Amino acid sequence: MNIFVFCLGLAIGFFWFNTLYAGISIALFLLFLFRIIFKSNDILVFREWCLLLYTLNYLVSPLMVYDLPQESVVYGMKIPAGDYFELALPGFFCFWIGMYLIPNKLFKLKYTLINKVASVNKEYLKRLLIVSFLLNFFSNYLPGELSYFVYLFSLVRFVCAFSLYSIDTRLWYWPTFVLVFDLFSSMLRGMYHDIIMWIIFFAIFYVYFSKPALGLKIAGFASLIFLVLFIQVLKGRYRGEVWYGSESASLSTITNISSEIATENVILSDDNYYSSLNRGNQAWIFASTIDNMNRNRNFQSLDVVGKYFEAALLPRFLAPNKIKSGDKSIFNEFSGHQINEDTSMGLGIFADGYIAFGSFGVYLFGFGLGLLFSVVFKIVEKWSQISPFFGLLLLPILNYAVRPDCELQTTLNQIIKGLFLFGFFVHFTKLRFTLEPIFESRLIKSLGK
């Protein structure tokens, strides 16, 4: 069936856009979408979701942008389509291969068969959820890197909420409370990426755990698309009125703007489609970086990546001059664009690869990031042999890293610090998550087969 879907996408893309690279791009998009919809009852489709994101950002969105009228394009592609896809497609395939290179059973854990063994954790998970929920409020008031560690650990609230639901579906109000609260908090701040990702993560977990009918999954997928389009409109207007206008950051402001959006029927408009397409086109940064580097020939080898690793591995007292999170100097130097500190844009893995070694760097860095994800999957799989709920720690470790617009510095920082922090968490709490550690370990291993 996978081959049929791929061939169908290949035919649609080729006849619609009249190029082979378009056919391959559409085929990949349909393949991952098909697996998410039809295979999500059998596996946690985390990898498929990640690959779908990269397909949308680096293959499908630029394909659409190249086909749009120039007046509808906000962020234009600075190199010809053929030149772009000759780099992007092999880079994507390298990323895909790296992600699947190390076999693991993390995405097939049988949560439903071990509830009796795990139910002893219910009260502990509730307490841990409350503590991590409160830590989220204090993280911004702590100094330096301590703030980041506390913020990272506060993401355990989502893991606890999902775990409570898997122990007893009557505890559905825990994930609902956490997700709704974070959704409204995100709305007040005008920053939505995090909570949308966590809603999607819960949807992936819910489908795998509850195994709903196909119709419900399709309805949920359509609702998610509608939510993203709605937020795209809300975000622009809310930021305009609160950040640059005179309105206060409040639920009443959100309610008023939402009412206006509902009456104007702009969610499914062409303008919102073009805006969402432009926002989801990480490829324009990649293409601009290629154009800029080809003109300047200022390739960096591993110098920039060395700065990223320095920032991720060394505390500031050992590396006082290391780059800060959100620093725009590297983006401004190599992308061919100038942005200020209030604008959030990242180069992305393929642009970083091109900065290092040109075309070869795109393939090398794509494969390297996929392999890094694969290593993380394997480490978390080892944790999940203690308890399947430790397998959900994959989500806070990679919730930023799976985003195609994430800076490589941020990706390395979160993965390295996340493995360190949650590795300690697993070590010091593992006895709380088993009634009989040896028995449960053997049970989980047998369930993963």
pLDDT digits (tens, 9 = 90+) for 21-46: 899 999 999 999 999 999 999 999 99
**Tokens 């996929």 identify what position?**
370
Q: Is the pLDDT of residue 227 over 70?
A: yes
Is there a contact between 224 and 201 (Cβ–Cβ < 8 Å)? no
The tens digit of pLDDT for each residue in 2-26 reads 788 888 888 888 888 888 989 999 9
Residue 263 counted as domain residue: no
What is the C-alpha separation between 121 and 167, in angstroms, rounded? 9
Residue ranges with strand state E in 362-435 = none
The pLDDT, as a whole number, for residue 118 is 52
Q: Is the pLDDT of residue 152 over 50?
A: yes
Total count of residues recorded for the chain: 449
Q: Which phi and psi (to 5°) does residue 157 adopt? A: -60, -35
pTM of the model: 0.89
Residue 302 counted as domain residue: yes
Which range marks the domain in which residue 298 is found? 2-211+282-447
Residue 249's Cα: distance from chain center in Å? 26
Q: Which phi and psi (to 5°) does residue 255 adopt? A: -65, -45
Q: Write the DSSP symbol of residue 77.
A: -
Return mean pLDDT, the chain: 83
**Of 91-95, 156-160, 259-263, 298-302, which one has max mean pLDDT?**
91-95
Residue 268: CB atoms within 10 Å: 10
- The mean pLDDT value for 410-424 works out to 91
What is the C-alpha separation between 371 and 362, in angstroms, rounded? 14
Nearest alpha carbon to residue 267 among 222, 298, 217? 222
Residue 176 counted as domain residue: yes
Q: What percent of the chain has pLDDT over 90?
A: 27
- The mean pLDDT value for 180-206 works out to 84
Is there a contact between 266 and 259 (Cβ–Cβ < 8 Å)? no
Q: Is 177 helix (H, G, I), strand (E, B) or coil?
A: helix
The tens digit of pLDDT for each residue in 358-371 reads 999 999 999 999 99
Q: Is the pLDDT of residue 132 over 80?
A: yes
How far, in Å, are 52, 196, 206, 382, 398 from residue 209 at the CA level? 21, 20, 5, 20, 20
Residue 356 counted as domain residue: yes
DSSP string, 178-231: HHHHHHHHHHHHT--HHHHHHHHHHHHHHHHHH---HHHHHHHHHHHHHHHHHH
Burial-class residue 187 by CB neighbours within 10 Å (0-12, 13-18, 19+).
buried
**Which residue would you say has higher pLDDT here, 175 or 326?**
175
- The mean pLDDT value for 394-416 works out to 88
- The mean pLDDT value for 443-449 works out to 50
The pLDDT, as a whole number, for residue 362 is 94
The pLDDT, as a whole number, for residue 29 is 93
The pLDDT, as a whole number, for residue 113 is 55
The tens digit of pLDDT for each residue in 235-274 reads 777 777 777 776 777 777 888 877 777 777 777 766 666 6
Residue 259 counted as domain residue: no
Residue 421 counted as domain residue: yes
Residue 225 counted as domain residue: no
The total of structural domains in the chain comes to: 1
**Of 89-103, 149-163, 339-353, which one has max mean pLDDT?**
89-103
Two structure tokens written together for 71: 């007046």
Residue 9 counted as domain residue: yes
